[in-house]
Structure 1
Amino acid sequence: MNLPTSNGPQNCPLCDSADHSSFFNNRYHRCHLCDLIFLLSKWQISPEEKNHRYAQHQNSLEDYGYRKFLSQIITPLSHYLFPNARGLDFGCGPGPTLSKMLQEQNCNMRIYDPLFFPDHDALKSKYDFVSCTEVVEHFENPKNSWNLLAGLVLPGGILGVMTDIYNDNIDFKNWYYKNDPTHVAFYSTKTFSWIATALKMEIKYQDERTIIFRLSPPDRQTCAPPMSHAL
Structure 2
Amino acid sequence: MFADTGMMVRYWACPICDHIWTPCLDDWTSEDFQRRIYNDDYVLADPPFTYDRPARNAGLIDGIVGSLRETLAVLDWGGGNGLLARLLRDRGFREALSCDPFHGDGRPAPERRFDLVTCFEVIEHVPDQRALFGELAGLLAPRGALLLSTLIQPDDIRDQGLGWWYARPRNGHIRLHSQFSLEHCLAIEGLELVSLTEELHVAFRTIESPVVRALLEAEVQGPSLPGLPAFSAD
Identify if the C-alpha distance between structure 1 residues 148 and 186 changes in structure 2 by more than 3 Å, giving closer, same or farther: same
Q: Which residue does 2:33 correspond to in 1? A: 50
TM-score (norm 2): 0.67
- Residue 179 of structure 1 aligns to which amino acid in structure 2? R
**Structure 2 counterparts to residues 1-231 of structure 1, below 5 A:** 27-41=10-24, 47-52=30-35, 53-56=37-40, 57=42, 63=51, 65-67=52-54, 69-70=56-57, 74=61, 78=65, 81-93=68-80, 95-103=81-89, 104-114=91-101, 115-120=103-108, 122-170=109-157, 171-181=160-170, 182-216=172-206
The residue number in structure 1 matching 2:225 is none
TM-score, with structure 1 as normaliser: 0.68
What is the Cα deviation at residue 91 of structure 1? 0.9
Letter of the 1:101 counterpart: L
Q: Residue 206 of structure 1 aligns to which amino acid in structure 2?
A: L
Q: Quick check: which one's strand share is greater?
A: 1
Q: Secondary structure at the match of 1:177?
A: coil
Cα deviation, residue 142, structure 1: 0.6
**Aligned sequence identity (%):** 23
Alpha-carbon distance in 2 for matches of 1:72, 1:189: 26
Distance 1:153 1:80 in 2: 20
Supply the AA of the counterpart residue of 1:98: L
Instruction: Indicate the larger mover: 175-184 or 132-141.
Output: 175-184
Q: Deviations over 1:186-225 (max 9, x none)?
A: 112112221232221122442121111113489xxxxxxx
- TM-superposed CA distance for 1:152, in Å, is 0.5
* 1:11-30, Cα deviation, whole Å (9 max, x unpaired): xxxxxxxxxxxxxx992122
Pairwise CA distance, 1:154: 0.7
Give the whole-Å Cα distance in 2 for the aligned partners of 1:35 and 1:61. 28
Shift of 1:172: 2.7
Q: 1:190 to 1:134 in 2, by over 3 A?
A: same
Cα distance in 2 for partners of 1:152, 1:186 equals 23
**TM-align CA RMSD:** 3.4
CA contact (8 A) 1:73 1:161 kept: no
Take 2:31 and 2:14, find their aligned partners in 1: how far apart are those partners? 28
Shift of 1:109: 1.1
Structure 1 residue 100: deviation in Å? 2.3
CA distance in 1: counterparts of 2:76 and 2:33, whole angstroms: 20
SS in 2 for 1:54: coil
CA contact (8 A) 2:20 2:176 kept: yes
Which amino acid is 2:106 matched to? P
Judge conservation of contact 1:160–1:212 (CA < 8 Å) in 2. Answer: yes
Listed as ranges, the gaps of 5+ residues in structure 2 are 1-7, 209-234
